[in-house]
């Protein structure tokens, strides 16, 4: 890939998606674009660049570029202490302050293939079982249409369910009738609380209402520091006073001027 072509991709990816694409990522981008070149019957990255930035490319190909440059690594109950804190402290606090019948609104921001929002739903369903009147809904968003299609199906290989507690498997998972396929599906009790939408963090948050809990974990590490702070401030504007923000353990809010107070490592409360 010609350096000039790479720089054009890099500038566009940074401005449109917020994702850093330094020169050290040139070889990675070249490799990831090879599949798109083959599928489009294009010979060079320059031809792909010309197509992408054409009116038709912007309409038809941009979603595929997003899938190429985004990283989608996730698991059920990833960073499990977050879910322990959610069940033991956050939900009781919200329920005590909101009272029965007032819905708790949760956002899984950067939900990838769905493991995080379905984990949240299982935890909240379990809390609701023991606390009549507790109501909740979960919004799950990602910029990649490819992973969202997978998330909506809610079907996963059995090899993925190891971190899910046995009791949760019993209550919230369905096994395939064809056991040879080794697949499970999230059951309707947990699945029906989650709605999925495509969202680019660089665009306006096109949904109404205040949120009680935001999970945005291992997402902003791909943004520069200034972009991270702007994004977290926008999260704070959507987070109700007394609501909670969970970030990834590889991320930090140190030095950022945000209306948040620490509750636990990588967990913050809106003030």
pLDDT tens-digit map of 86-102: 999 999 999 999 888 89
pLDDT tens-digit map of 20-64: 888 998 999 999 999 999 999 999 999 999 999 999 999 889 888
pTM of the model: 0.88
pLDDT tens-digit map of 161-219: 999 999 999 999 998 877 778 899 999 999 999 999 999 998 889 888 899 999 999 88
Residue with tokens 């064809």: 178
Q: Which positions ≥6 away from 134 have C-beta within 8 Å?
A: 91, 95, 100, 104, 124, 127, 128
Question: In terms of residues, how long is the chain?
Answer: 271
Gap between the Cα atoms of 269 and 262, Å rounded: 6
List active site positions.
32, 142
Q: What is the mean predicted confidence (pLDDT) over 222-250?
A: 95
Q: Look at residues 59, 227, 201 and name the one whose alpha carbon lies nearest to residue 143.
A: 201
* Domains 3-69 and 80-270 equal at CATH topology level: no
* Tokens standing for residue 209: 């209402």
- Mean pLDDT is lowest, of 20-24, 126-130, 237-241, for 20-24
Residue 271, classed as helix, strand or coil, is coil
pLDDT tens-digit map of 213-233: 999 998 888 888 999 999 999
Q: Is the pLDDT of residue 128 over 80?
A: yes
Phi/psi zone of residue 163: left (φ > 0), alpha (ψ -120 to 50 degrees), beta?
alpha
20 to 3, 7, 204, 221, 224: CA distances (angstroms): 16, 12, 20, 9, 7
> How many CB atoms are closer than 10 A to CB 58?
12
Q: Which positions ≥6 away from 200 have C-beta within 8 Å?
A: 16, 17, 143
Domain range 3-69, CATH architecture? Orthogonal Bundle (1.10)
Q: Is the pLDDT of residue 160 over 90?
A: yes
Q: Where are the alpha helices (DSSP H) in the chain?
A: 3-17, 26-39, 45-52, 55-60, 62-69, 80-85, 91-98, 115-130, 145-153, 166-172, 188-191, 225-238
pLDDT given for residue 80 in this prediction: 96
Domain range 80-270, CATH architecture? 3-Layer(aba) Sandwich (3.40)
Residue 66: pLDDT band with limits 50, 70, 90: confident
Q: What is the mean pLDDT of the chain?
A: 93
CB distance 235 to 245 below 8 Å: yes
Spans of all domains in the chain: 3-69, 80-270
β-partners of residue 77 are: none
pLDDT given for residue 156 in this prediction: 96
């Amino acid at each position: 890939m010609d350096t000039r072509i790479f720089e054009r991709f890099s500038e566009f990816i940074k401005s449109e998606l917020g994702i850093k694409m330094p020169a050290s990522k040139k070889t990675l981008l070249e490799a990831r674009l090879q599949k798109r070149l083959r599928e489009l019957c294009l010979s060079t990255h320059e031809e792909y660049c010309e197509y992408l930035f054409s009116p038709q490319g912007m309409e038809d190909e941009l979603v595929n570029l997003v899938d190429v440059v985004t990283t989608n690594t996730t698991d059920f109950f990833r960073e499990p202490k977050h879910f322990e804190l959610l069940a033991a402290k956050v939900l009781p606090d919200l329920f005590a302050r909101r009272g029965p019948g007032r819905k708790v609104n949760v956002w899984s921001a950067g939900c990838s293939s769905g493991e995080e929002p379905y984990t949240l739903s299982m935890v909240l369903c379990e809390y609701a079982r023991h606390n009549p009147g507790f109501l909740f809904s979960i919004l799950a968003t990602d910029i990649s249409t490819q992973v969202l299609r997978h998330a909506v199906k809610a079907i996963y290989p059995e090899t993925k369910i190891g971190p899910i507690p046995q009791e949760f498997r019993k209550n919230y998972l369905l096994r395939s009738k064809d056991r040879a396929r080794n697949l499970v599906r999230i059951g309707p009790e947990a699945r029906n609380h989650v709605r999925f939408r495509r969202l680019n963090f660089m665009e306006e948050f096109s949904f109404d209402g205040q949120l009680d809990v935001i999970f945005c974990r291992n997402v902003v590490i791909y943004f520069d520091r200034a972009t991270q702070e702007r994004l977290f401030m926008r999260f704070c504007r959507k987070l109700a006073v007394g609501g909670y923000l969970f970030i990834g353990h590889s991320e930090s809010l140190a030095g950022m001027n945000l209306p948040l107070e620490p509750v636990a490592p990588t967990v913050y409360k809106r003030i």
